[in-house]
Amino acid sequence: MLENLTSQPPDALLALIKMHAADPRQDKIDLGVGVYRTGQGDTPVFAAIKQAEQRLVDQQDSKSYLGPEGDMGFVEALMPYIFGDDPTRGGRIQGMQTPGGTGAVRLAVALAQKAGVERLHMGTPSWPNHAQILGDIALELAPFNHATEDGRADIDAVLAAIDGAHETDAILLHGCCHNPTGVDYTDEEWDRIAEALASKGLFPIVDTAYQGLGHGLEEDAHGVRRVLDAVPEAFVAYSCDKNFGVYRDRVGAFYAKAKNADELETVFSNANALARAAWSMPPDHGGAAVRVILRDADLTKLWLDELDTMRERMRTVRERLAEAGVAGSVDLVPLGRQNGLFSVLPVTPEQVKQLREDHGIYMAGSGRINVAGLTMTNIDKFIAAIADVTG
Ligand code: LMR
């Protein structure tokens, strides 16, 4: 039986972690997988998470099962941050916990498919796992161009995709800090997208994995809120892995807006059934720690301060790159106006290989860099290396 399986390549992004770890060079630079790093190159546990975890150790009195929806205190505590005032929109939005943002995306697309969606529009390039998940559940992908060559959002392409969509289509949008390009729609563009979705009646899924890492928690929520206010039904996939730094704890949530409370109940009976069949229940620990933070004013303030520090550091790195102007054939200026952890450099796979082999610089084959891997100590080396391989 097992001889029927063919070998699969390791996930290219995750393989970079191992390749970087095995490189003995002291001055190697890891710009691969999307984790935040401090100016010293570390990915520490947030102080707010540490304190919340201590409280869990002291006060948690059971690890008994919760159910497929996970920790609803966590799910509900997040809602004002994502949806703003009136976070349930009068009882029309509800959520459940998922294993990371990946679990939320998986649940969202599987549920959309169950509801009759046959094809998903998505701006490309996108996070490679999006296409992988769609392939796994055999949902057709209809790609449109996400960014223009000068590093801005291709608003015409997304509006054309919406306009040309069929009745059984849906669209996946990145809420903020687009992965991999860092190119987000402006508030005005979100308004146009929301209006187009509403007038076409196209079902949106908004993947929000980096809230707070672009311009701020409120600012980064503009797109998702605008879309949810415009349409009668939508799904949101949310990740806390980055904005609470709990990557390996897998902390995510799935939210749905439905036309009314009855429909919402049916949506979640289906979501619970899908979750039960896939992972039964989400891991508890990270979500519980986030709940503890969000229910405590002091811990919330500590978390918000830590998030501000992360965002400001990434902004400083981006400004420094933009100031460098052109390195070899690469214009670094657009990186200054892009958001979040990622940007894509116009480099070939061969140049990516050269950067790795000759300079110890690790990035995705697509040319995506994690800007948080750059520090004031290694950024000049990085810029010089780009000039060297592309010049
Ligand atoms: C990334 O894109 O690097 C992150 O979202 C991590 C992952 O799971 O791919």
Distance (Å, whole) CA 130 – CA 144: 14
- Which numeric CATH code is attached to 11-44+310-390? 3.90.1150.10
Q: What sign results for the dihedral spanned by CA atoms 288, 289, 292, 293?
A: negative
Exactly one of 110, 196, 209, 221 is catalytic; which is it? 209
pLDDT for 273 equals: 97
Q: Could you report the predicted ipTM of this complex, rounded to two decimals?
A: 0.94
Burial class (CB in 10 A: 0-12, 13-18, 19+), 21: exposed
Residue 89 in this model has a pLDDT that exceeds 90: yes
346 is written with which tokens?
């116009």
| Closest residue by CA, ligand 1 atom 1 | 34
**All structural domains of the chain with their residue ranges:** 11-44+310-390, 65-294
pLDDT for 9 equals: 86
Give the Å distance between the CA of 32 and the centre of ligand 1.
Answer: 9
Give the Å distance between the CA of 34 and the centre of ligand 1.
Answer: 5
Q: Is the CB of 366 under 6 A from ligand 1?
A: no
Strands 368-370 and 342-344, bridge-based pairing: antiparallel
Query: Average per-residue pLDDT in the chain?
Result: 97
Distance (Å, whole) CA 283 – CA 228: 28
Give the Å distance between the CA of 11 and the centre of ligand 1.
Answer: 10
pLDDT for 167 equals: 96
Q: Is the CB of 16 under 6 A from ligand 1?
A: no
Q: What are the tens digits of pLDDT across the range 106-149?
A: 999 999 999 999 999 999 999 999 999 999 999 999 999 999 99
Residue 41 in this model has a pLDDT that exceeds 90: yes
Using pLDDT thresholds of 50, 70 and 90, give the confidence band for residue 324. Answer: very high
What's the rounded mean pLDDT across residues 326-345? 97
Distance (Å, whole) CA 271 – CA 269: 6
Class of CATH domain 65-294: alpha beta
Q: What percent of the chain has pLDDT over 90?
A: 97
Residue 13 in this model has a pLDDT that exceeds 90: no
pLDDT for 355 equals: 97
Distance (Å, whole) CA 158 – CA 230: 16
Exactly one of 110, 184, 242, 249 is catalytic; which is it? 242
Q: What are the tens digits of pLDDT across the range 165-190?
A: 999 999 999 999 999 999 999 999 99
Using pLDDT thresholds of 50, 70 and 90, give the confidence band for residue 38. Answer: very high
**29 strand-pairing partners:** 361
Residue 11 in this model has a pLDDT that exceeds 90: no
pLDDT for 14 equals: 87
Amino acid at 48: A
Distance (Å, whole) CA 316 – CA 313: 5
Q: Is the CB of 267 under 6 A from ligand 1?
A: no
